Chains A and B, each alone.
Chain A
C-alpha cells in the first residue's frame, strides 16, 4: 500500500507544482464549452432538442478526463527518457504496483480536472438534475480515468518520443472522443456512425455521465457501468502486462 500511495502522491505533487498544467486544465474545456455550447447551442435549440450546454457538459467532463488521463502516458515516457523509471524498475516491488500507483495518481488528477469542468459549467448556467447524484458522476469519471491512465501507461512504456505519442493521440484518442456521442445525441445519427459509437467504450462513459447528470441515456445506466468496469479491468491488465515487459 505504501508503495502505491507514494507513487500516487508523486503524481499529485507534480500536478500541483506544474502551474501551466492547471491553467491548461481549465482553459481547454472552457473553450469547448463556450465555443460549442453557444456556437452550436442556438441551432440545437431551434431543432427542438432543448439546451445544448446541458447536453454538452457531461461529454466535456468525460473529454477532459480522457485527454488528461491520456497525457499521463507522456509522463511515463518522460520518466523513461529522464531515467526515473529505472529507479522504480530495479526496486523490489512488483511492476503492477508501480504501474498502478502512478496510474492512480494520473487518474486522480484527471478526475479532479473533470470535476473542475463541472464547477465551471455551473457558472455557465448548467444545473444537474439531481444534486445527490453528482458524487456518482465523479465515480464514473474516476473509473474512466483509471481505464485511460492504465492504457496510456502501457502506451507510454514503449513509445519513444513525443512525436510517437502525438500520433497515438491522432489515431486513438480523437476517434474515441469524436465518435463517442460526447458532442451529439446518438439517437438520430446514421446507422454506421451509431454502430461505431456502440463499439467505442468512451460512448458508455459519456452516456453514464449524461444519465446521472441530466437524466438522458441512450444505452441505459446498467449497460454503461458494466462496460466501463470491464474496460477498467482490461486496461489494468494491459498496463500491467506492458510494464512487466519493460527492459531498460
Chain B
C-alpha cells in the first residue's frame, strides 16, 4: 500500500441503474486510521457506494482505490485490503462460528499455523469463544453481528466497512461493538468506513462525516464543521437542514428487492 496517499479514494464516481442515477459524480478521500461515517436518507446511495468500493458492483464511470489499489484493475489486492460487515447477515448459519472463521481464513489465504491463534483471539474479543462450536443458526442477532465483525477482522484489513452494523442491536451490544472497533482502529491504524441511520452514533464515533443525498455528496466534515456550516446546534439538526424533512421511498435495488421479499416471508 502506498504510504502517504488516502486509504479510500473516490474520484468522479457514478453508478447508473438504467435511468436511475444511484451515485452521481462523487469524489472524496478517507485517510489512514480515520473513523468515517457516510450518512444519508433511504435510497441516497450509501449501500451502492459501499458495494462499488467492495467490488460487488462496477461503477458506470469514475475511479476508486483502496489502500492504493485500483478496485477494478487490481481487484484481488483491493479485496485483500478490506473487511466488511454487510447490512444483511452473510454468515453460513448451518455451520459453527469456528467453521465460518476457518472458511474465511482459507478464502483469504491466512496460513494454517496462524489461523488458529487469530481465530481464538478474535472470538475471545467478541466474547463468542465459549460458543464457537454452536451452529450459527442458534445464535441471536447480536451474536451473529459480533461474529461477522470478528470474521471481517480475521485477515487484518486496512479498511473495515460496516454497512449499518448496529441495526436491530440492543444498546449494550452496540456499545460493545463500537468499543472493539474504536480500539482496533486506534491500535492498528485501521480505517473504518461505516453507514448508519443513528445520527448520534455517527456524532459519537466518527472523525469525519459525509452526507449523501439523491446520489450526490452534499456535505463533508467533522460534526462541528457540519453544525457550523448549517448554523445548527446538533448533528441531527444539521443533517435535517441538509437533507430536508420529507420521507423517502427507497428505490429498490437488486439486493433490496429480495430483502423486502425475505422480510415478507418472515412475517407470514
Contact = CB atoms under 8 A, between A and B. Distances in A.
A89 B255 CA distance: 14
Contacts of A80: 258
A23 interface: no
Contact of A92 (B56, B76, B91): B76
B57 A248 contact: yes
A130 interface: no
Interface string A1-37: 0110111001001100110000000000000000000
Interface string B57-76: 11000000000000000011
A3 B82 CA distance: 19
B254 A247 contact: yes
Contact of A6 (B58, B94, B103): B103
A248 B88 contact: no
Contacts of B94: 14, 17-18
A83 B261 contact: no
Interface residues of B, number: 36
B51 interface: yes
Interface string B121-157: 0000000000000000000000000000001000000
A125 to B, nearest CB: 38
Nearest to A18: B94
B104 interface: yes
Contacts of A17: 94
Contacts of B51: 248
B244 interface: no
A2 B104 CA distance: 11
Contact of B91 (A2, A7, A81, A84): A84
Describe A's contact surface by its main secondary structure: helix
A201 B212 CA distance: 53
A13 B98 CA distance: 14
A13 B104 contact: no
B251 to A, nearest CB: 16
Given A6-B106, A247-B57, A91 B90 contact: no
Nearest to B81: A92
Nearest to A248: B56
A2 B56 contact: no
Contact of A3 (B88, B106, B151): B106
Q: How large is the interface on A (under 10, 10 to 19, 20 to 34, 35 or more residues)?
A: 20 to 34
A83 B100 CA distance: 13
A6 B56 contact: no
Contact of B58 (A10, A84, A85, A247): A247
A86 B56 contact: yes
Contact of A90 (B79, B254, B255, B258): B79
B17 to A, nearest CB: 10
Interface in A114-157: none
Contacts of B254: 247-248
Interface in A72-87: 79-87
A222 interface: no
A2 B106 contact: yes
Contact of A87 (B82, B104, B258): B104
A90 B84 contact: yes
A157 B55 CA distance: 17
B198 interface: no
A12 to B, nearest CB: 12
B99 A13 contact: yes
Nearest to B77: A92
B54 interface: yes
Given A83-B86, A93-B107, A10 B92 contact: yes
Given A14-B95, A82-B93, A248-B254, A3 B56 contact: no
Given A13-B99, A83-B86, A90-B82, 20 more contacts: A2-B109, A6-B102, A6-B106, A6-B107, A10-B92, A10-B95, A10-B99, A82-B89, A82-B90, A83-B88, A83-B89, A84-B91, A84-B92, A86-B86, A89-B55, A90-B79, A92-B79, A160-B258, A247-B56, A248-B56
Which 8 A-B pairs rank lowest in CB-CB distance, beginning with the nearest?
A: A83-B90, A91-B107, A6-B106, A92-B79, A92-B76, A248-B56, A92-B80, A87-B90
9 contacts: A2-B106, A5-B106, A83-B86, A86-B86, A87-B104, A91-B104, A92-B75, A161-B261, A247-B58
